[in-house]
Amino acid sequence: CGDHGCYGPIDKVEHVRHVKRMQPGAPNATYGPKAPLEWGQVNFLHTTDTHGWLEGHLKEQNYGADWGDFVTFSRRMKQTAGNMGVDLLLVDTGDLHDGNGVSDATKQDGTKSMPIFDEIEYDLLTIGNHELYVTEVAYQMFNEYAKKWGDRYVTSNVKVLNQKTGKFEYVGATHRYFTTPKGLRVMAFGVLFDFTGNSNASQVIKAKDMIKESWFNEALASKEPVDLFILFGHNPVRPTDSASTFKLVLDAIRASHAKTPIQVLGGHSHIRDFAVYDDSAVGIESGRYCETLGWMSVSGFDSSNSGFKGVKNPHGVPNPSRPAKEGSKSPFVYSRRYLDWNRKTFLYHSKQTEKTYDYHSGLRVTGDITKVRDELKLGQVYGCAPQDYCIDCAPFTDPKNIFPGVIYPAVSAVVLNETRKDKSRIILGNTGAIRFDLHKGPFTYDDNFIVAPFRDVFLYIADVPFDKASAVLDKLNKGIVNKRFVSTRVPSDECTNPTLGYMSRRDVREPRGIVRRQDGVVPGYTTKDDWGTDGDDTEHSAIPSYRIPGYWEARASFPKDGSNPDKVDLIFFDFIQSLVLQDLGAGYTADMVQCYINCTFTSQDFMLPYAKLAWQENVDDCPL
């Protein structure tokens, strides 16, 4: 199989057309930031869970900036900070691939995307779980990426096997102590949640054990003064999220540093969020997929509590004025903002126009992305999707939902072993393997990775009694399983709304009708966090979000008379093999499991053949 899967080389694609970026401007040009950012003594720009979306969202204008636009923005903002006499720190909290053709269409994930990602002058970076599923990727992080960033790459609880020494070693630094240009003395820890799905090339030290490590306690006991702790990581900021381990580490820091400010920056749960831990500890989480750029600012440093030598209240701009908690006695005040990832946002906050904005560095990066997209043929069109299909904006059984609308018919038609085509089959998958909505219009090679980026092999057990096989889905979806795999997707009760069901992915946490609507507002994030509803930089109307289960099932080649077969081939992703075996119960073991089509046919390989099969109508004239 080539780069384009097992369905022949690209010249066999009958309908080849290239999708070009949607231009900002009309028709929905009325959106935009509501007010200038509040600049403090130290400020943060935060990216997380970018998952390879370096081209931006070609089909969603509101998130349409590319990484080159961001390169320019980050440089302009660093200069602005310098001119104002304050600090600006750039931070990334991991999950760099699995989600887009730019990162996933190469033989090894990240080969073409990582050099593009590197173009930002980050001050702190750390590792995500998606850098640890695949052994080769973990080695790439250890041998190349971490080396490039030196002590800015902080992995306080993640080790990878050094193939030369045969020993597990920290991927990056355990911690970073540094002084900012304006004199703030910072101690930073980068902590991944207690991830257990890593390959055996890495070790993730649980937070409860990490805080007992001697290096950690020595760092906290160090005689070097610390003005600010930065606790960052691929780790949700919400303390009630069962995946988050930040609170544990924060409490460990507080045990010896009761009042020093702690700035938390997190990720992994793919939401916009802001959490207040105490009077001088707050945390921001900045969404996913280059939809959001997080902004935080902090003031309150003076000669009694820091080495800060910059400007106390930067002039000509608003300054942060809000204590973490009402009635706080701490000197520290904050602001937080979630910026939509588009050029209009970037232009507004850098006070530029379309004509003046671009830097050569940014344009060069945009050019590099275009080159990569061309080389990987990401714009090639395989079909014309007749409508929009979403993951959770419609109920799970609605034809607008991507599972009944696309995934079931696609796997039923395409995931077929010719030698067993007469056998009835049940195909099981985890909903988390389907990563993004599918838009009406041209379905490109890139969209294949956007919808189904993982290389999860289709496995099967032959001739399972129907009664046993058909009971698995329900068992998978009952409680324990969700906790085992998708803890960050499990709704907390506070997010459940009787009208809309579970609201999660876009942070829609208010019922329709109560959401602030105004003319010119386009659908998007309407975030509610510990400070309320004023964090979104651009006002949006809410997008409904329904509860979806953790697992799905499709059936194919069942008897035409509507009866059930005696036996079925039970097909499933390797990612969920252990759970399926567990739920089948006694008598089912790993040696009964085989590759279904072959051992390289994965979840990356069914969408393109389906697009060629089902979406050829209007393909030559498919409107974007």
> In whole angstroms, what is the distance from residue 131 CA to residue 134 CA?
7
Q: What are phi and psi of 592, to 5 degrees?
A: -90, -5
Of 66, 95, 104, 553, the residue at the interface with Zn ion (CB under 5 A) is 95
> In whole angstroms, what is the distance from residue 245 CA to residue 492 CA?
17
CA 601 to chain centre: 25
Cβ-contact 392, 461 below 8 angstroms: no
Shortest distance in whole angstroms from residue 429 CB to ligand LLZGTKA7: 8
Nearer Cβ to ligand LLZGTKA7 (433/543): 433
Nearer Cβ to ligand LLZGTKA7 (49/66): 49
433 binds, among ligand LLZGTKA7, Zn ion, none (CB under 5 to 8 A by kind): ligand LLZGTKA7
> Does 52 engage in binding with ligand LLZGTKA7 (CB under 6 A)?
no
Mention every residue, 6+ apart, whose C-beta is less than 8 A from residue 557: 421, 422, 423, 424, 425
Q: Interacting stretch for ligand LLZGTKA7, rule CB under 6 A, among 127-135, 253-261, 411-419, 564-572?
A: 127-135
Nearest to 180 by CA among 304, 299, 65, 41: 41
Cβ-contact 162, 169 below 8 angstroms: yes
> In whole angstroms, what is the distance from residue 489 CA to residue 504 CA?
8
Q: List residues bridging with 219 in a β-sheet.
A: none
Nearer Cβ to Zn ion (432/442): 432
**Span 107-166, contacts to Zn ion by CB under 5 A:** 128-129
Shortest distance in whole angstroms from residue 492 CB to Zn ion: 18
> Does 98 engage in binding with Zn ion (CB under 5 A)?
no
Cα angle at 57 between 410 and 502, to 5 degrees? 65
**Span 546-575, contacts to Zn ion by CB under 5 A:** none
377 binds, among Zn ion, ligand LLZGTKA7, none (CB under 5 to 8 A by kind): none
> Does 296 engage in binding with ligand LLZGTKA7 (CB under 6 A)?
no
Secondary structure in 3-state letters for 534-573: CCECECEECCCCCCCCCEEEEEECCCCCCCCCCEEEEEEE
> Does 130 engage in binding with ligand LLZGTKA7 (CB under 6 A)?
yes
Residue nearest to ligand LLZGTKA7 (CB): 432
Count interface residues toward ligand LLZGTKA7 (CB under 6 A). 16
**HSE-CB for 225 with a 13 A CA cutoff:** 11
- x/- contact string, 63-102, with ligand LLZGTKA7 (CB under 6 A)? --------------------------------x-------
CA 369 to chain centre: 19
Cα angle at 302 between 296 and 303, to 5 degrees? 145
Between the alpha carbon of residue 22 and those of residues 115, 366, 373, the distances in Å are: 25, 15, 15
Nearer Cβ to ligand LLZGTKA7 (525/615): 525
Q: Interacting stretch for ligand LLZGTKA7, rule CB under 6 A, among 62-70, 184-192, 330-338, 426-434?
A: 426-434
> Does 133 engage in binding with ligand LLZGTKA7 (CB under 6 A)?
yes
Nearer Cβ to Zn ion (42/243): 243
Between the alpha carbon of residue 576 and those of residues 6, 464, 473, 525, the distances in Å are: 23, 17, 12, 31
> Does 606 engage in binding with ligand LLZGTKA7 (CB under 6 A)?
no
Sole residue written with tokens 């355990």: 174
Sole residue written with tokens 């054990």: 209
Sole residue written with tokens 């930065």: 230
Kindly give the pairing relationship between strand 425-430 and strand 551-556: antiparallel
The DSSP 8-state label assigned to residue 445 in this structure reads H
Cα dihedral 255/256/257/262 (nearest 10): -60
> Does 485 engage in binding with ligand LLZGTKA7 (CB under 6 A)?
yes
Mention every residue, 6+ apart, whose C-beta is less than 8 A from residue 479: none
> Does 435 engage in binding with Zn ion (CB under 5 A)?
no
Of 246, 289, 443, 454, the residue at the interface with ligand LLZGTKA7 (CB under 6 A) is 454
> Does 268 engage in binding with Zn ion (CB under 5 A)?
yes
> In whole angstroms, what is the distance from residue 612 CA to residue 443 CA?
10
Shortest distance in whole angstroms from residue 517 CB to Zn ion: 30
| Residue 290 structure tokens | 């280059």
Of 300, 362, 432, 549, the residue at the interface with ligand LLZGTKA7 (CB under 6 A) is 432
133 binds, among ligand LLZGTKA7, Zn ion, none (CB under 5 to 8 A by kind): ligand LLZGTKA7
Cβ-contact 581, 454 below 8 angstroms: no
| Residue 286 structure tokens | 């900045």
Count interface residues toward Zn ion (CB under 5 A). 5
Shortest distance in whole angstroms from residue 123 CB to ligand LLZGTKA7: 23
Q: Interacting stretch for ligand LLZGTKA7, rule CB under 6 A, among 79-87, 205-213, 272-280, 430-438?
A: 430-438
**Span 10-49, contacts to Zn ion by CB under 5 A:** 49
- x/- contact string, 539-578, with ligand LLZGTKA7 (CB under 6 A)? ------------------------------------x---
The residue type at 532: G
482 binds, among Zn ion, ligand LLZGTKA7, none (CB under 5 to 8 A by kind): none
Of 124, 390, 406, 433, the residue at the interface with ligand LLZGTKA7 (CB under 6 A) is 433
Radius of gyration of the chain (CA): 25
Q: Interacting stretch for Zn ion, rule CB under 5 A, among 261-269, 296-304, 383-391, 422-430?
A: 261-269
Which spans of this chain sit near ligand LLZGTKA7 (rule: CB under 6 A)?
Answer: 49, 95, 129-130, 133, 268, 270, 430, 432-433, 454, 456, 485-486, 488, 575
> What residues line the site for Zn ion (CB under 5 A)?
49, 95, 128-129, 268
